[in-house]
Amino acid sequence: MNIRLRSRSRSVSVRRSGSSGASLPIICLIGAEFLSQVGNQIAAVAIPILVLQFTHSAIATGIAGAGNIIPIVLAAFVGGKVIDQFGAWQVSVAADVLSCISVLLLPLVFIWFDSVSPTAIFLLVFVGALFDPTATSARQTLVPKFAKLARIPLEKVNGYRGSLENGADLLGPVVGAGLISLIGTVNTFFVNAASFFICAVMFAIAIPRRQRHQVFNSARVDPIAGIRFILKHRQLRSLAISGMALNFVLLPFLGLLLPVLTTQKFASTTLLGICLSLFGMAATLGALSYSTLTKLLSRSVMYYGGLLLSAVSIMLCGVVETQIALMISVALGGLLLGAGNPLEQTILQEVTPSRIAGQVFTSHTAISFAAGLFGMLIAGIITELTSMTLALTLGGNLLAIEAVIGWCFMPLSDYKITSGK
């Protein structure tokens, strides 16, 4: 009897130990995502401040922002194919190392040369952002596998991921603004480069590498397979169209209009960091509430309600006269939007076959961010030639219209749909 009890105790201990070990990859993967996002948010503060300091031009700032978006679009045609051909683990580590090297070019050029042209700034920002979208998509494709290994539901994992991603949106701008004040805008990019290197090391050490990976014949791989899959699937098509409208408005708001508003109207770089952090804090609260909201609200209410609330927030930013009112307005924009991110990831993971996951994830991101590229340029021109208030009003109205159209004509299914792997 005693022997049997001891044997049973040992088996329970082994199961607990195995469960703990099975959870390590997903924990480290989420940690790597968080670290990378913190670095990106530091750059999100530093890039527009750097361009405004050297050019004093909203159009030049919009062009630099476009340079940060173009690599995301290119990833749809190159990055996804690379992930599916060589494997997510290999691509993630290699892309993070290359991102570290490319980001270092920006501060080094400003240190070596007394003046840098807007064209050179655009190219430097473009090269610095070139590899990051592919690394991000590579990590996303591994989430379902490691969530299953850890026996954690996808909804819960994506809730954690969304919370930490939005937490990075909260922490990154504060760190970025603080670093700019302490060591200057140029030197802040060294910290951004370091975040990519640490992320690569963490991923290489803690995430198990697949022993074998199917090698695809590149001649037989459809370069737009991910885009075709998205356009044929009603749920993903709805998310892509809504995502285009959202990023057409939101990316210029966060990356151009808000920096111009805080530095020119309120003359405060610190205010920009605070506003971006409050936006991230509100989005984090929304992501943390995702699991609860799924029990109370339909997917359509959660997603399109977030777009509508963000639209109201952006329009309010165009009329506020005090720093406190601006902070409240910006925070309002991220509240329900934070819950939309894990919802979007969950739907993508539910319906996407693993054999083309890399292409679908990169294509979905690229489709959404392609509109942000044009939004940056158009917002810069409107702000430069007319007024920033007009740009904010037009953007907010456009997003509100999209929320209503999406609610009426592109509802999101509340039923879980599993794909063939």
For 334-356, the DSSP string reads HTTHHHHHHHHHHHHHHH--GGG
What's the pLDDT score for residue 222?
58
What's the pLDDT score for residue 211?
45
Question: pLDDT tens-digit profile of 167-225?
Answer: 787 788 888 888 888 888 888 888 888 888 988 888 888 777 764 444 444 444 555 77
Distance in angstroms (rounded) separating the CA atoms of residues 118 and 55: 7
Going by pLDDT thresholds of 50, 70 and 90, the confidence category of residue 414 is low
Q: Residue 329 phi/psi, 5° resolution?
A: -65, -45
Question: pLDDT tens-digit profile of 385-401?
Answer: 898 899 999 999 999 99
pTM: 0.70
* Domain-embedded: residue 3: no
Number of compact structural domains in the chain: 1
Question: pLDDT tens-digit profile of 227-261?
Answer: 889 988 888 999 999 999 999 999 999 988 998 89
Going by pLDDT thresholds of 50, 70 and 90, the confidence category of residue 20 is low
What's the pLDDT score for residue 393?
95
Best mean pLDDT range from 52-56, 107-111, 259-263, 269-273 = 259-263
pLDDT (mean) for 93-108:
86
What's the pLDDT score for residue 223?
56
The region of weakest confidence among 8-17, 262-271, 282-291, 315-324 is 8-17
* Domain-embedded: residue 4: no
What's the pLDDT score for residue 21?
65
What's the pLDDT score for residue 221?
52
What's the pLDDT score for residue 4?
41
Residues in the chain: 421
pLDDT (mean) for 309-313:
95
* Better-scored residue on pLDDT, 420 or 411: 411
- Its domain, for residue 381, covers 21-208+222-409
* Domain-embedded: residue 15: no
* Domain-embedded: residue 7: no
Q: Is the pLDDT of residue 330 over 50?
A: yes
What's the pLDDT score for residue 195?
87
Q: Is the pLDDT of residue 120 over 50?
A: yes
Distance in angstroms (rounded) separating the CA atoms of residues 37 and 164: 9
Distance in angstroms (rounded) separating the CA atoms of residues 37 and 195: 9
pLDDT (mean) for 272-283:
86
Question: pLDDT tens-digit profile of 38-53?
Answer: 888 888 888 888 888 7
Going by pLDDT thresholds of 50, 70 and 90, the confidence category of residue 6 is very low
pLDDT (mean) for 101-115:
82
What's the pLDDT score for residue 17?
41
* Domain-embedded: residue 216: no
First to last CA, the chain: 46
What's the pLDDT score for residue 322?
93
* Domain-embedded: residue 175: yes
Best mean pLDDT range from 165-169, 217-221, 340-344, 416-420 = 340-344
Contacts of 394 (CB under 8 A, 6+ apart): 382
Distance in angstroms (rounded) separating the CA atoms of residues 63 and 168: 25
* Domain-embedded: residue 325: yes
What's the pLDDT score for residue 3?
42
Task: Tell me how many degrees the CA angle 105-87-39 measures, rounded to the nearest 5.
Answer: 35
CATH for 390: 1.20.1250.20
* Domain-embedded: residue 16: no
Best mean pLDDT range from 20-29, 277-286, 381-390, 410-419 = 381-390
